[in-house]
Amino acid sequence: MQIDPDRLAIVNYPDPALRTHAKDVDPADPIVRAVAERMIALMRQADGIGLAAPQVGLDWRMFVCDVPADPVTDGPPTGSGGVCVFLNPTITDLARDLDVHDEGCLSLPGITGDVRRPIEITFSARDLGGAEINTRAGGMFARCFQHELDHLDGVLIIDKMPRMARLKNRSAIRALKKEFAEQAP
């Protein structure tokens, strides 16, 4: 499949791309860098802190994030301008302590709800140069990493919200489904 990064756009629920289980990506493939740059631009345009490849219609195990460092907890790994690109990420350890936080998603505009996640993670991934990354992180960065990793497994925040939060968002979810159906060819 030929990919034109300039044509990539954020897809909204219930686009089937959001429910796919993403496949590993080759860091040596030259299109990966161009797609990452486009994803960073789309994430910034939408005022997001993370964006996964399935959110732009690609079944790649890749995401980008730009989470401001938290001086109290472990911040993101160092990188140019705080922007990180992760290829083939996996979580290797999760803290036992959990925290509940209101989360939103660029593919679920207007929908937010409490999601319970471990407060710290240890993870591994590859960067754009193919180098391996192994680190422990906490705070908002750990939450963002887990959220984006969920996307790579076809999991959305609406799957993790408690029942009351899903009920609160029921009309917004229906509106997204209706809009998607109306745009279908």
CB neighbour list of residue 79: distance below 8 Å, 6 or more residues apart: none
* Kind of pairing between the strands at 120-126 and 132-138: antiparallel
- For the chain, the residue count is 185
Is 23:60 a contact under the CB 8 Å cutoff? yes
SS3 call for 3:
coil
| Active-site entry in 120, 148, 179, 182 | 148
Task: Report the amino acid identity of residue 52.
Answer: A
CA distance linking residue 121 with residue 141, whole number of Å: 9
Please indicate whether residue 120 is annotated as part of the active site. Answer: no
The two tokens of residue 31 are: 């299109």
Catalytic residue positions?
148
